[in-house]
Structure 1
């Protein structure tokens, strides 16, 4: 029996081996591919995906397997994965025309227009009359503002194929650009009759309705998309966003809760619900969060993600509960350690440095390589002003390849604290090389290029960041703002369309849409959108400002004034509307109304320093005497003793009135309460340096020392002047000579350089610099501290030369 059993096993194995041998990996892969295609055609998409993946894993030689996986990605709106699968399909089968056409369309979606053209031209090289390839070219031409070329292609296609859906869509887009909206809508509806499930055309119809501010049609459009594609969460998010923006809050909440219920194990729908409540029902955020904690007690990663959102959204103390739950579940796992790091970061924010150090000891004891903890250690060093120690430690972390962008980004921030802008910029750029979407580094570099007017370079950084993270709200907003600035309306519109899907700040896409209307000169339409936005967000400063500008463009300032007066009456505690209305009154030279508006507001909100600053300006203008502002500043400081702006304004006024001892006293009081105010330090040092009291001069020199390595030219000048006044003329002269090369037109610098040259025995050069300081001052029609002293010196020199 035993022998028989063995032989049976042998026979079974032999049969199995024969079966396997009959089918090579390529044949098996082909079988799985064919089965996957059949399942796809039958609508059994999950089963189709399994077969297609099995095909690619069995033998990675069939591009068609990746092509069909791309089609499945398309159905799930996963366009990033779709693009990757199409690229792989063409690597394996370069002649796969259908993949080239799909990839060309996706390249347009990602803004890679040249690659889209390449795909179209490649298809046309072998199939010269391929309509889809021609239409890809037309779509690219529209994006490139070559509308005549696009129109020519569409006209040719529609001549032979009048019902071609893509051609109808492009023709509609061209008509929409010409503001022939009714005709555009007619073509879109015709296209939808032919292809009712076409997502891009349906979204384009939503876009047209949104541009017309036809909210009911927008809502209907998204409802139809949800009916057609019930698993596509983006459409539900968009509809919930529209509901929220139109105050249909219960509808929005029902939809968001349905998404949560349908994906119980996913964190994203839960966070979206919390974000909605945070915007619309703030008092319910904490209870909802705690309910989520209770329902997911054993899911440490989910607890961590929910708690991270709470921390970022300003609920750090409440978030401790969820973080601690995650730690209790998985203390030394990556999730548990990450939770401990965030708890320590909360302690760092509260300046509980001993708690942070204790936590770091525990975390690094469990895993000394845990990068988040090492980065926190560096942040602790920076908080303790141990900048050099932090930089040294970060340079060691660079050799660990993980989180390289975060390391470089933190290095950049450390160098900013040292006021070494050059090194900071270098490290921020290295962070972006490692990760173009590192938002801390991006904001620094992008902002620098934008402020310097180098928009092309700024755009390059922006496009790289978006390619890495196409749905990031801050990047999309930057794209929309830059496109609006450069009047690239189509690009701005596309960015806003995506922004509407992902922005948690509901006002942002609406505001940018109004910006486009304003930029196009459609001021009446822009005003309508701004008014609706202000109705929902009464203190939205930029909308208030742009509403006034739009009325100004229509030469209807009186309507702007009337609108703001009514808005202020309905929302008396909204300070931004007070500021805009007061500026409007000032523009009309209506100082009586301005003064009354500000004084009434001060009675309601006496602890707002900016109101006193505005009132002081009005007092000075009406009395034509700057001294009349003093009582306003003093009144403001009685109720706002630690307000640095009011203190700076009062000290500056004392300087103008030549009450230097009063100015010194105010600056000293300010720095006692706010030791980090560099401008106050600079101004106080400048006053003390000019004193006849040697002790005060020495004190001024000590204060100016902090500006030794500053990049601010005014602060550098203060330090150089302090060197000269305390007898270190050679060093002061060298510094001022370098400073003049960077800032040749500032009379104060020329005055100080002139004195330094005279002290050094360079009499002729010194006199020339002193004369130039006076000349620059007169040409610029502004005085400078020391001008009278310069005139006195020059007169004495002329007198002594005459003798």
Structure 2
């Protein structure tokens, strides 16, 4: 080695040595790992969790890996409810120390939490081999059996544990859970009470007691349950909010308000509890909101940031004068700072919301003159462009804005709205999702994405999106309502009940939480209680369709249809002009095959509300067709309705459809053309006329049908696109086959689509595939008990193919 190489080698060694000294001092890796682990344990025992995790992470980064390091990291994860990380750290613990019984026990429970039942059972079996009489392992196995609906096996294990240790809280809890699921509520309550005598402060048990009392509609007991929890955990805001919600549902507004004020007193510098109180007052006693807001502003040393947040809420909640007062105070005290510009931007927004475009434009210009890159003002300017239908200008400005500030959720939200206006769903969806990545609770971005997932039946994805939004904004009423509806749809009754309680705290009307609570009772099979709530709702909202339908379903479940009919008849007597009540009542008569009564009801109603009679004629046409056992009866009703309402698109479309059904294409065509002479952009009429003309053998009519169908080339509607694809098939364009194959994936049970696909394959020489599709078309039509245009032609083609 040369002299220079020797120097370089020594220098490199020195660097490594310095690095080692920095990392480990004079300790070996083993000593360093042990030292940091020891410190981490000590800090954990003292409750200094932030410091503990730093020591434990340092220990885990040393070459010497210790199982205890990962075990204590898992315990810290457990404290923070970070169960995914907890699972990973427990798995690492067991890799390093397979005999760690405590780690295996906890890992089994985490697997259970995530629904990995086989993995949970694996841990339980391992533990029972090591410790055959281990109560925790037995109860873990029993918990798995309960999740697998193996109730008897679970019961045997639980009883075996209690026979040895009658005071085992976990066994008592599991036995209570079994009783609860079997609707043996008295036994469940007794078991929980027994367990609470052993551990009075056990939070899961106390929450379970609330579930039992809530299921029995024992509101006073639920209130006492929450009071006890708050007594043990006085610093927990959530339980105070839950109790305030229960008070609100029970119309005990004074204690609810006292709890909310108590939260404010404990957190005087925080704005969120103040907004919660304002929301509560706004829902329950709106006249007091203004004075409460002013008293909040009068508190010494209130920050401009808090005044801004409170003023924004006041404006959003239709307390404009007070909101403007607060914003002006911010502008005066903060001069030309960014917070003052924010206040000025919100003031400019008030002009925009009142369509005072010139004032808004001037205010925005003044703000941008102070700071041309001020994001909020540029966003408001983009909103102004959208309201003026200057969509491209809005998009250009918003793209510049996100370039300057890439973390503006409102910029991406407005881009989503701009692309929605341009009917570019892909770009709109992309930008809404970008907004939600920044702020999961951006309501204007949230709703279109969430509703899209729900409509596509992607409920789990919708729930994940909703959970993130509620974590960011737990008291937002529209988010809470969405959660309650999703919980009800998924039959998560306990979750739904808890959410409805929170809604009751902020809802201006008792009807919303009452309706949702009735849904829960109905879902749980408590039909009599549900009926009472639905009937009470009609005092405030007599013609609420969903409540009427659910009332009927609940009475049906009780096998008391006649009571449903009697109640809705009485409701109709009180509210003669309410068409929703008439619609439900006529449907009830029709379902009971009392068509004469249904006809009489609808005929009388047309006389009562002749100016609102179109839906009544539509319903009467169906009844008349049944009574006359002929579509001609319906035709006479439609024609009579058109005498009073000659340009009604609903009646005209219904009559045209009836003519098509009767094979009278020329009359149907004439009516579709009449509709389009009134409204040239009526897409359903365009589609139906195009489909009709495409079946013609007249070249002139066919050409007109092709021209009309061209409009649907880029439509997102499957049936409109089918019309376009059929026009391609008619002209021998093979591209029609590809379009139809993509559509059949979306609507596999459409007989007409199958027929069109069969013809397309036949024209392309695929006889075998064509035969399958044509047969499927006829089979679907028969199973669905409906015909389709081309059914006779499909049968004819099948016969021809078979004879070749």
TM range (shorter): 0.5 to 0.7
Matches within 5 A, 1:664-743: 664-668=672-676, 671-672=679-680, 675=681, 678-687=683-692, 689=694, 698-708=703-713, 714-720=719-725, 722=727, 728-729=731-732, 731=734
Aligned residue among 483, 501, 514 for 2:521: 514
Tell me which moved more, 773-782 or 94-103. Answer: 773-782
Residues 31 and 738 of structure 1: CA distance in aligned 2, closer, same or farther (over 3 Å): closer
2:418 to 355, 368, 380: 380
Q: Please point out which of 187, 199, 207 is paired with 1:183.
A: 187
Deviation of the 1:96 alpha carbon = 6.8
Partner Cα distance (1:655, 1:284) in 2: 62
Change (3 A) 1:177 1:755: closer
Report matched runs for 1:193-592 at 5 Å.
193-260=197-264, 262-266=266-270, 268-269=272-273, 272-273=276-277, 276=280, 300=305, 328-329=341-342, 337=375, 341=379, 344=382, 348=386, 351=389, 353=391, 356=394, 360=398, 363-364=401-402, 366-367=404-405, 373=411, 376-377=414-415, 379-385=417-423, 390=427, 444=452, 447-448=455-456, 450=457, 480-481=487-488, 483-484=490-491, 492-496=492-496, 499-500=499-500, 506-507=513-514, 510-518=517-525, 523-524=527-528, 527-528=531-532, 530-531=534-535, 541-569=545-573, 576-591=580-595
Deviation at 1:574, TM superposition (A): 6.3
Cα distance in 2 for residues equivalent to 1:314 and 1:601: 40
State the secondary structure of the residue aligned to 1:163: coil
Shift of residue 189, structure 1, vs aligned partner: 1.4
- The root-mean-square deviation of aligned C-alpha atoms, in Å, is 6.0
Gap change, CA 1:337 and 1:689, over 3 Å in 2: same
Structure 2's unaligned 5+ residue stretches are 1-24, 61-67, 331-338, 346-367, 440-444, 472-478, 505-511
Please list every run of 5 or more consecutive structure 1 residues that lacks an aligned counterpart in the other structure. Answer: 1-19, 41-47, 74-78, 408-436, 451-457, 485-491, 798-803
CA distance 1:174–1:785, change in 2 (3 Å)? closer
1:129 correspondence with 2:120 = no
CA distance in 1, matches of 2:689, 2:547: 39
Distance 1:582 1:315, change over 3 A: farther
Structure 2 counterpart of 1:80: 81
Write out per-residue CA displacement over residues 671-693 of structure 1, whole angstroms, 9 at most, x where no aligned residue: 44xx3x54332013234556799
Q: Hey, what's the Cα distance between the residues in 2 that align with 1:300 and 1:602?
A: 60
- Give the whole-Å Cα distance in 1 for the aligned partners of 2:74 and 2:794: 79
CA pair 317-162 structure 1, distance change in 2 beyond 3 A: same
Stretch moving more, 369-378 or 508-517: 369-378
Instruction: Assess, with a 3 A threshold, how the Cα gap between structure 1 residues 661 and 601 changes in structure 2: closer, same or farther.
Output: closer
Distance verdict in 2 for CA 1:591–1:402, change over 3 Å = closer
Alpha-carbon distance, 1:668 to partner: 1.0
Query: In the aligned structure 1, how far is the partner of 2:795 from the partner of 2:110?
Result: 70
What is the alpha-carbon distance in structure 2 between the residues aligned to residue 176 and residue 768 of structure 1? 52
Are 1:647 and 1:667, in contact at CA under 8 Å, matched by a contact in 2?
A: yes
Distance 1:782 1:239 in 2: 54
* Equivalent pairs, count: 702
- What's the CA shift string for 1:109-160, capped at 9, x where partnerless? 5555455546655655654433234323323322221212221221122112
More moved, 534-543 vs 741-750: 741-750
Output the CA distance in 2 between the equivalents of 1:293 and 1:495. Answer: 37
| CA distance 1:695–1:236, change in 2 (3 Å) | farther
- 1:139 touches 1:150 (CA, 8 Å); kept in 2? yes
- Equivalent residue, structure 1, for 2:348: none
Match of 1:43 in 2: none
Change (3 A) 1:122 1:277: farther
Is the CA contact (8 Å cut-off) linking 1:748 and 1:785 kept in structure 2? no
CA distance 1:696–1:526, change in 2 (3 Å): same
- Is the contact between residue 323 and residue 340 of structure 1 (CA under 8 Å) also seen in structure 2? no
Give, in angstroms, the shift of residue 704 of structure 1: 0.5
When residues 184 and 570 of structure 1 are mapped into structure 2, their CA distance, relative to the original with a 3 A threshold, is farther
Shift of the 170–783 alpha-carbon distance from structure 1 to 2, 3 Å rule, reads closer
Residues 24 and 705 of structure 1: CA distance in aligned 2, closer, same or farther (over 3 Å): closer
SS of the equivalent of 1:213 reads coil
Write the deviation string for residues 615-671 of structure 1: whole angstroms up to 9, x where unpaired: 444455556611233256547858xx7x86555435435656743355124431564
Query: Contact between 1:620 and 1:626, CA under 8 Å: does it hold in 2?
Result: yes
Separation in structure 2 between the aligned mates of residue 292 and residue 597 of structure 1, nearest angstrom: 57
CA drift at 1:541: 3.8
Q: 1:150 aligns with which of 150, 154, 161?
A: 154
Distance 2:483 2:535 in 1: 24
Separation (CA, whole Å) in 2 of partners of 1:28 and 1:690: 82
- Contact 2:307 2:326 (8 Å CA) reproduced: no
Structure 1 residues 337-385: Cα deviation after superposition (integer angstroms, max 9, x where no partner): 3685477458636746477358537735743785753564364244235
Is the 8 Å Cα contact of residues 382 and 397 (structure 2) preserved in structure 1? yes
Cα 1:319–1:682 change in 2 (3 A) is: farther
Contact 2:73–2:89 (8 Å) recurs in 1: yes
Structure 1 pair 473–351 and aligned structure 2 pair: CA distance change class (3 A): same
Q: Which residue of 2 aligns with 1:159?
A: 163
> CA offsets, 1:242-273, max 9 Å, x none?
33333444544443454455445546545655
Taking the TM superposition and a 5 Å limit, the aligned residue runs for 1:616-627 are 616-618=621-623, 620-621=625-626, 625-627=633-635
Q: Distance in 2 between matches of 1:703 and 1:547?
A: 45
CA spacing shift, 1:573–1:154, aligned 2, 3 Å: farther
